[in-house]
A and B are shown apart, each in its own frame.
Chain A
Amino acid sequence: MGFLRRVWRLISANGGIYSWLTLIAILALYPLLTPSGAALLTATQLFMLITVSSNWNLIGGMTGYVDFGHAVFFGIGAYLMGILVTVVPDYILFSPQLGFWQALPLAGLGAMVFALLIGVPTLRLKGPYFSIAMLGTFVAMREIIRLLKPFTGGGEGLDLPPVLNRTRDYYFMLIFMGVVVALMWWIRRSEFGHSLLAIREDEVGAEMRGIDTTRHKIIAFMIAAFFTGVAGAFWAFQNTYIDPDVVFIEQRTVEMVMSSMLGGLGTVWGPPLGAFILYMLQDLVWANFYNLHLFILGVLLIFIVLFVPEGIIGTLGDRSSTSLGRLLSRGFNRGERTMEERA
């Protein structure tokens, strides 16, 4: 243990920046190291999970409004992409058929506008009522998309141009993920972020202290919706076809929630870490325990909720309230002290 602690101390004192540079270099060069489409697609899917989980965490973790229907923004983004690149010219004569890059931000904006419309009434609801309202929105949207047949293709869905480019997708999602995580990092430190935390801890108290809670909540909701919408639009293009049943899957929201909980609700690095572990576990467990994989993941989830409710980052952090967290945090600090004393 002593040796490990010493190594750990060394790395954390000097190696932090180098670790990060190495990581960034590896990620940037990854397509050159493994030119396998499957490996790139796997990484791209992981980046996407990190991105949407971070966005869920903004509203669900930092603001404390647990959103059980967040995938609705993913779906709206996906459908806007589908409509903009395939259907539009049939209906608006003067609009040229949009390409991937033009449709991407428009899809995000569409999701954002929807977040504004749906957020104004639902964000006034507290606790489980908001969660249920969003779940309802999610399910309702799936049916609405089905009914808007002239635009959405109804249950038959839309076929996007089958232009696949895994390397382009990889770099796009890598940069997109970087932007989103950096934004979350900034928000967490900004006044805006602190206001969100204040709303989570005590909404009435925050209101009394002069925070315009409704405005803050809606802005956080819209930011989360924008990036989730762009991710959805990207997914639609990558999958080359969409229909209500492949786009509006409850599992998407579940994955966002699970990643955030596993990593640590309301923390910047929780969702990325949680998404990483969850994705790797799914892959690993799937490959090695063929028929047991769902069972194993389920047991793991129960374990997390029961024993590590603050997530990994929360438990390792200084302000952990669980006994395991305090123990770990003491262990780290003691290690540092002894090193300092020796030095």
Chain B
Amino acid sequence: MNKILTLIAILAILGGVLAACAVPGGGEAPAGGEEEKVILIGAAVSETGKYAREGGDTRKGYLLWEEWVNNEYGGIKVGDERYKVKLIMYDDEGDPDTAAKLTEKLITEDKVHFLLGPYSSGLTKSASAISEKYNMIMVEGNGASESLFVRGFKNLFAVLTPAGNYTESGLKAVADAGAKSVVIAYEDTAFPTSVAEGAQKWAKEYGLEVLAVETYPKDVADVSGIMSKFKDLNPDVFVGGGHFNDALLFIRSAKELNFTPKAMIITVGPSNPKLVKELGADADYVIGPTQWDRTMSYKDEYFGTAEEYAQRFEKKWGEEPTYQAAESTAAALALQIAIENAGSLDTDKVREALNAMDVVTFYGPIKFDETGKNAGKPMGAIQIQDGDIVVIAPESAKQADLIYPMPPWDQR
């Protein structure tokens, strides 16, 4: 038995020595970029695991920006010099332990200058706690939960509209069209909870009476209980906060029960063309918030219009950009603009530039409030009209007018 103990001890020592040797080796690599002027930007983003799809979109958004800024734009302007960008990305597998470890690695071993965010609110929470500890700036485009911005972090900046504002433009549009009452159902996880709390706030703001608020657990298989309760209340507007599958459930269930509110506002699902494919005509008239859409009329001097960005994306990746991809590119672009405005790689100066930022990009306006949220960008709203996704709000980006009220299920 003692022999075995000794064997373990030796193995452990060898392991420790190997690990100790490996660490400095990894840290030296970036030092070689001295002559070439390189800015190192790091991100831990899922490539496998439960966020593989959305994480993949995030990666594509970042990589598109890297390729553009190096090859086409000629590098980030810092004072009179041009800096190439080296993007270091790792796969966090959707696992918080791995995400924390990789974020630490990016900061302490790869010695990146700036960080871009991971995908999902949860992973952004643990990653931003680490970047705050090391006083590293993190610009993110994929963590919308409001609870990210109440921790007093001064280095976290988010270009996307926070979850609390998701339903704002949709509710305003239906209120303007004459709606008076609203019911809300949402999934009991971080992001939908923020959406629903925001919906209650905006409903009040626009003079809508909230008749009922219901929650349901994650991965729910049936929402008919909630929907039949809502039917009895006979509200003007139904708001559903959840993910893609929940949107399918809400619409199917409403049709089965013949529950016809005058408008349905549902998060995540409607902006995805797959919803129309799944539901056909039943998806018509459903309203959904969208962070970004290629038809929006925003443009900048970097990527051009939203449509031009979308075409560039299609050319590189052979698929349409989702809004997750667009907001990732926008996060990187915001960081670039801040570095150029600061004329320095110094964290404090770049932070100042981020705080002072007030620009319009292909993705929309970017203007951070004191908590790091993007207070400048209104959430868009789309409505499915005749099988097409069309933007109905905000005014500055809209393609068509809201159709209200939606016709009953049997008259389509």
Contacts of B215 in A (CB 8 A): 154
Determine if B23 and A241 form an interchain contact, defined as CB atoms under 8 angstroms apart.
Answer: no
A139 interface residue (CB < 8 Å to B) = no
Pick out which of these stretches binds chain B: A39-47, A63-71, A109-117: A39-47
A19 interface residue (CB < 8 Å to B) = yes
A321 interface residue (CB < 8 Å to B) = no
Determine if B125 and A156 form an interchain contact, defined as CB atoms under 8 angstroms apart.
Answer: no
A276 interface residue (CB < 8 Å to B) = yes
* Cβ contact of A317, chosen from B4, B100, B108, cutoff 8 A: B4
Pick out which of these stretches binds chain A: B128-136, B230-238, B267-275: B128-136
Q: With A269-B5, A290-B91 in contact, is A243–B189 under 8 Å at CB?
A: yes
Pick out which of these stretches binds chain A: B11-19, B294-302, B331-339, B341-349: B11-19
A34 interface residue (CB < 8 Å to B) = yes
Contacts of A42 in B (CB 8 A): 19, 101
Q: With A26-B13, A33-B20 in contact, is A156–B101 under 8 Å at CB?
A: no
Q: With A19-B10, A154-B193, A269-B8 in contact, is A41–B104 under 8 Å at CB?
A: yes
Determine if A41 and B100 form an interchain contact, defined as CB atoms under 8 angstroms apart.
Answer: yes
Chain A: which residue is nearest B152 at the CB level?
Answer: A162
| Range of interface residues on A (Cβ < 8 Å) | 35 or more
Instruction: Give a binary string over A1-28; 1 marks a CB under 8 Å from any B CB, 0 the rest.
Output: 0000000100110011001101100110
B217 interface residue (CB < 8 Å to A) = yes
Contacts of B217 in A (CB 8 A): 143, 146, 155
Contacts of B132 in A (CB 8 A): 162
A208 interface residue (CB < 8 Å to B) = no
A125 interface residue (CB < 8 Å to B) = no
Determine if B6 and A16 form an interchain contact, defined as CB atoms under 8 angstroms apart.
Answer: yes
Determine if A155 and B190 form an interchain contact, defined as CB atoms under 8 angstroms apart.
Answer: yes
Q: With A19-B13, A45-B101 in contact, is A317–B189 under 8 Å at CB?
A: no
B126 interface residue (CB < 8 Å to A) = yes
Determine if A276 and B11 form an interchain contact, defined as CB atoms under 8 angstroms apart.
Answer: yes
* Cβ contact of A240, chosen from B6, B10, B105, B125, cutoff 8 A: B125
Determine if B16 and A39 form an interchain contact, defined as CB atoms under 8 angstroms apart.
Answer: no
Q: How far is the CB of B21 from chain A (nearest CB, A)?
A: 10
Q: How far is the CB of B280 from chain A (nearest CB, A)?
A: 31
Contacts of A239 in B (CB 8 A): 96-97, 100, 126
Contacts of B326 in A (CB 8 A): none
B2 interface residue (CB < 8 Å to A) = yes
Determine if B20 and A34 form an interchain contact, defined as CB atoms under 8 angstroms apart.
Answer: yes
Q: Classify the secondary structure of B's interface with A.
A: helix
Determine if B190 and A243 form an interchain contact, defined as CB atoms under 8 angstroms apart.
Answer: yes
A16-B5 Cα distance, complex, nearest whole Å: 8
Determine if A276 and B15 form an interchain contact, defined as CB atoms under 8 angstroms apart.
Answer: yes
Instruction: Give a binary string over A127-162; 1 marks a CB under 8 Å from any B CB, 0 the rest.
Output: 000000000000000010010010000111101001
Contacts of A249 in B (CB 8 A): 95
Chain B: which residue is nearest A249 at the CB level?
Answer: B95
Contacts of B4 in A (CB 8 A): 269, 313, 316-317
Determine if A19 and B188 form an interchain contact, defined as CB atoms under 8 angstroms apart.
Answer: no
Q: With A37-B104, A143-B217 in contact, is A155–B193 under 8 Å at CB?
A: yes
Contacts of A280 in B (CB 8 A): 15
Chain A: which residue is nearest B12 at the CB level?
Answer: A23
Contacts of B193 in A (CB 8 A): 154-156
Instruction: Give a binary string over B92-119; 1 marks a CB under 8 Å from any A CB, 0 the rest.
Output: 0001110011101101110000000000
Please list the residues of chain A having a beta carbon within 8 angstroms of any beta carbon in chain B.
Answer: 8, 11-12, 15-16, 19-20, 22-23, 26-27, 30, 33-34, 36-39, 41-43, 45, 143, 146, 149, 154-157, 159, 162, 164, 166, 238-241, 243, 245-246, 249, 251, 269, 272-273, 276, 280, 290-291, 294, 313, 316-318, 332
Q: List 21 A-B contacts (CB under 8 A).
A: A11-B10, A16-B6, A19-B9, A20-B9, A26-B13, A34-B20, A39-B23, A42-B19, A143-B217, A146-B217, A154-B193, A155-B187, A155-B190, A156-B188, A159-B125, A162-B153, A269-B4, A272-B8, A290-B91, A291-B48, A313-B4
| Given A16-B6, A146-B217, 7 further pairs, Cβ under 8 A | A19-B10, A34-B23, A36-B27, A38-B105, A154-B193, A156-B188, A166-B104
